[in-house]
Structure 1
Amino acid sequence: MPNAVVLSAFGPPEVLRWARVPLPEPAEGQIRIKVAAAGVGPTDLDLRSGRLKAFPLEPDAVLGFEVAGTVDAVGPGVTGTFVGDDVAALLFGLGGYAEYALASIWTPKPAPVSFVDAAALPSSAEAAAGVLRQLGVTAGETLLLLGGGGSVGVIATQLAVAQGVKVISAVGARDDALAARLGATPVRYGPGLVAEVRRAGGVQAVFDAAGRGALADAVELAGGPERVITLSDPAAADFGVTLSHPSPDRAPGALAETMAMLADGRLVMRERMTLPMAQAARAHRLLESGEVRRRIVLTL
C-alpha cells in the first residue's frame, strides 16, 4: 500500500500524519499520477485548521490541490495521455500529499519545467485566472489586488497586466520592487490603504488573494460588493462578497496557458523551497509562522 499525508482531525499541523492508504484507481476520464512533487497553498492551511468550512472533508482526507509527476495508470475514456507521460494536475478532489493521486484535469509538463516548478503552478494559476474571469476586468480598468506578493497575486498581476488592466497591488514593503517589476503600482496594507488607493486613481474591482481582513476597505473602494471577490476570507458573507471556490469551469484553460508561459520564460513565480512529503506538518508550521515566504513544495 502507498503512503499519503492524512488529516486525522482539524487542528494544528500535528494533525497531519504520514500513513498507509489504499492505492486509488482511476475512474472514467481520470489518470493516476505517481507524484513527484505537490504544492502547499494557503487554502491547505485553512482546511487543516478547520477555519475554512466551505470545503467539507471526509475523515482521513488527504490535502493538496496540485501535483506534478508521471502518469501511472489511465482510466476509461482518456485519450491522448499515456502511462509514462509527465504531467501537472489540478486536483479538485484534493489528494495531492500522496505517493499516488487521481486527476481529471491535467496538462503535459514541458521538459524545461522541473517537477517542483510544475507542482507550484496549477492551483495558483487556476485561482488567478478564474477570479479575473469572474470579476470581468477589461483593458482600461483598474484592479486592486490584495496580496499581490503571494503566489496567486504574482500570477494574477501578470495575467491582468497582459490584458491591459492597470493593477494596484497591496503588498508588504519587501514586495514593493517585485510588484513594480511585474507592472503594478504597489501600495501598503493598513489604515491608510483606502486613501493610498484613491491617490493612485481608484479602482473598479478588487481581487482579495490574501484573506487578511481587508474586505471593508475593498467594498468601500469598489463602491459595493458586486465586484469584490475573495479566495479565503471567512467574513465574505458579512460583506456580501463572493468567496470564490476552485471548480472545473472557473478557468478550464488556465493550467495549459500558464504552463506554456512558464516553459518559455514569460511567467514569473514566487521562489520555491522543497521539503520531503512526510514533513508536510513542518511545511504548514513554517508557513503559519512566517519563517519562510517562499512557496513550499513537497517532494518524493
Structure 2
Amino acid sequence: MKKVSFAEFGGPDVLQLIDAEEPHAGPGQVRIAVRAAGVNPVDWRVREGQVLGAHPTVLPSGVGLDASGVVDEVGEGVDGVEVGDHVFGEGSSTYAEFAVLSYWARMPEGLSFEEAAGYPSVVETALRVVREVGVQPGQTLLVSGASGGVGSAVLQIARDRGIRVIGTAGAANQGYLRELGAVATTYGEGWVERVRALGRVDAALDLAGSGVIRELVELTGDPRKVVSIADLDAPKLGVRFSGTAGSVADALAEAVRLISLGRLHIPVERSYTLADAAAAHIDSHAGHTRGRRVMVV
C-alpha cells in the first residue's frame, strides 16, 4: 500500500510517499480502507519532533491521527461494527491507503468521507479546552484564531451551550465567524482595544499560537482563565497548555449527536492527495484556515 512516512525529524521535505506493508487490526481495533485523513497541526509538530513527550515517535514513522473510511478488518473483542461500515475516528499513520483506528464511530448520514475526516481530533480538542477553561453558560469566551478547525468547533459547541463568543480572525473570515454565532473582530494592531469594546471577557482560548498569551491574560485578568493549544511557552506565563487528549470515544459520540442535529458543521477548505502531504503541512503551518484541510485517498 501507499503511505506517507518520514525517516528523520525535520521540515516538510522529509515526508515521502512509500510502499509499505499493510497494518492489521489488533484487539479492540478496526482497520479501514482510508478514504480521507484529517490534516492537523499536531501532524507537523510530530514531524518536527516538537511533541515527543505526548507523541513518542519511533523512526521511520507514519503520519496522521484522523481518518474516515470503510471498515475492512475487525479486531478481536470488537463488536457493534462490521466490515463495510463507514466510520470516522482516530488511529495512527492515517496518511495511507489502509490505517488502524483505536477509536471510531459510524459516520452520520449525509456526511461525506472528506468532511468526516475533519472532525475527530478537532472536536475532541474543542470539547476539552472549553471544559478546561471553565467557561459557563451566559459568560463570554474569547477565541484567538477562531476560524480554523478547532475554532469552528469551539464556536458551535459554545453556541450550543449558551456561551457568548468573541472570535478573532483575518478580515476575510469575519463573515464566517458570524455565521457560526460569534461576535467577530480582526487581529492585528489594536485588537485588544477592539475586544475590550465588545464587553467583558470571562475566559480565553489561544488556538493559533500567535504570541498573544500576555494579552489574553490581561483581558481575562487571570492566567487560570486562559488555555492554549498552540503556544508551547504558555506555561511560562502561568497559562495551561492543553496537549493531552481526553476521551476520544465521548468526543466522537458528541460529534455524531451535534452533526445529526444540524448544530455542528466544519467545512473542508482544501483537499490534498497523499503525494501532496508536504504542501498540506506547509499550508497547515501557515494557518489562516477556514475550517479543515484533509488528505483524500
Aligned residue runs from structure 1 range 146-295, under 5 A: 146-249=144-247, 252-263=249-260, 265-288=262-285, 295=292
| Alignment-derived partner of residue 88 in structure 1 | 88
| Alignment-derived partner of residue 299 in structure 1 | 296
Q: What TM-score, normalized to structure 1? A: 0.91
Tell me the distance in 2 between the aligned counterparts of 1:217 and 1:291.
20
Letter in 2 for 1:175: N
1:4 aligns with 2:10: no
Which secondary structure does the structure 2 equivalent of 1:253 belong to?
Answer: helix
* Distance 1:238-1:292 versus aligned 2 partners, 3 A rule: closer
Stretches of structure 2 that go unaligned for 5 or more consecutive residues are: none
Tell me the distance in 1 between the aligned counterparts of 2:288 and 2:157.
29
Question: Does the CA contact (< 8 Å) of 1:146 and 1:206 recur in 2?
Answer: yes
Tell me the distance in 1 between the aligned counterparts of 2:158 and 2:150.
12
Q: Which of the residues 127, 149, 173 maps onto 1:129?
A: 127
Which secondary structure does the structure 2 equivalent of 1:226 belong to?
Answer: helix
Which secondary structure does the structure 2 equivalent of 1:48 belong to?
Answer: helix
Tell me the distance in 1 between the aligned counterparts of 2:6 and 2:238.
31
* Superposed displacement of residue 233, structure 1: 1.0
Aligned residue runs from structure 1 range 31-50, under 5 A: 31-50=30-49
* Superposed displacement of residue 202, structure 1: 2.1
* Superposed displacement of residue 258, structure 1: 2.0
1:204-223: per-residue Cα shift (whole Å, max 9, x none)? 11111111111111112222
Letter in 1 for 2:38: G
Tell me the distance in 2 between the aligned counterparts of 1:41 and 1:74.
26
Which secondary structure does the structure 1 equivalent of 2:294 belong to?
Answer: strand
Stretches of structure 1 that go unaligned for 5 or more consecutive residues are: none
Letter in 2 for 1:196: R
* Superposed displacement of residue 176, structure 1: 1.0
Tell me the distance in 2 between the aligned counterparts of 1:256 and 1:140.
25
Q: Which one is further off, 60-69 or 179-188?
A: 179-188
Q: Which of the residues 105, 111, 114 maps onto 1:107?
A: 105
* Distance 1:228-1:53 versus aligned 2 partners, 3 A rule: farther
Question: Does the CA contact (< 8 Å) of 1:219 and 1:228 recur in 2?
Answer: yes
Identity of aligned residues (%): 38
* Superposed displacement of residue 63, structure 1: 1.6
* Distance 1:293-1:204 versus aligned 2 partners, 3 A rule: closer
1:17 aligns with 2:10: no
- After the TM superposition, which segments of 4 or more aligned residues of structure 1 sit over 6 Å from their partners? none
* Superposed displacement of residue 116, structure 1: 0.6
1:74-103: per-residue Cα shift (whole Å, max 9, x none)? 111111111111100123xx3111122111
Tell me the distance in 1 between the aligned counterparts of 2:49 and 2:170.
27
Tell me the distance in 1 between the aligned counterparts of 2:70 and 2:265.
24
* Distance 1:216-1:258 versus aligned 2 partners, 3 A rule: same
